Amino acid sequence: MRVGILALQGAFAEHGAVLDRLGVSHFEIRQRRDLEAPFDALILPGGESTAMGKLLRDLDLFDPLRTSILQGLPVFGTCAGLILLARDVEGGVPCFGTMDICARRNAYGRQLGSFHTEEIFDGLGRIPMTFIRAPYICSVGPKTRILASVDGRIVAASQENMLVTAFHPELTDSLAVHQYFLNMAA
């Protein structure tokens, strides 16, 4: 398996480090020609979703990536990546809009509202979760499966070929969520 990691902005290097620990081949997607390399799955990292959405369009990455996701390419969005995939965004504008969820941007506040906790993730048990200016999922559609909640707020979900987390699993020592995604993509 080979994973493409969107590397326009945000925590892409940390995802690469997790994939290295798992022994999974990966590369960074920075420009249109990078999409010429074959890949089996995609990671949309945390960062600033508005800036990422603009760069996706400016660099002519938006249409081919959205088409690939709609055609079934497995995709994992963390934090801003969750917002990029959301069909509806409170406090923002949808980007790919491929997942039937509504996300609330910066729902946990500014940088000072960042926190770490451990909660149950369906199928994985209790895992560490790091939230940095994180969104959460306000609502889900009928095909979306809720995987984790913190204080009654949805922080992880899946739908068909898409997995999203409001938290940053790449910023913990746990490999569980990335392995979950790789199993889903296989």
Does 132 or 108 have the greater pLDDT score?
132
Complete DSSP assignment for 43-99: EE-SS-HHHHHHHHHHTT-HHHHHHHHHTT--EEEETHHHHHHEEEEETS--SS--E
pLDDT higher than 60, residue 30: yes
Chain-centroid distance, C-alpha 16: 14
Q: How many residues would you count in the chain?
A: 186
Distances in Å between the Cα of 75 and the Cα atoms of 65, 119, 169 are 10, 23, 15
> What is the arithmetic mean of pLDDT over 23-51?
96
Q: Is the pLDDT score of 4 beyond 60? A: yes
Q: What is the DSSP letter of 152?
A: T
pLDDT at 169 > cutoff 70: yes
pLDDT of residue 75: 98
Residue 113: predicted pLDDT = 58
Cα(72)–Cα(103) distance, integer angstroms: 21
Short-list 95, 78, 91, CA closest to 14: 78
Instruction: Give how many domains the chain has, as a whole number.
Output: 1
Looking at residue 174, what DSSP letter applies? -
> Which domain does 175 fall in, by range?
2-185
CATH at 155: 3.40.50.880
Tell me the average pLDDT across 52-59: 97
| Catalytic machinery residues | 79, 168, 170
- pTM for the model stands at 0.96
108 versus 49: the higher-pLDDT residue is 49
List the one residue out of 12, 26, 29, 21 whose CA is nearest residue 79.
12
* 92 pLDDT above the threshold of 90: no
Query: d(Cα 35, Cα 40) in Å, to the nearest integer?
Result: 11
Checking if the pLDDT of 186 tops 80, the result is: yes
Looking at the predicted structure, is the pLDDT value of residue 111 above 70? no
- The pLDDT confidence band at residue 105, using thresholds 50, 70 and 90, is confident
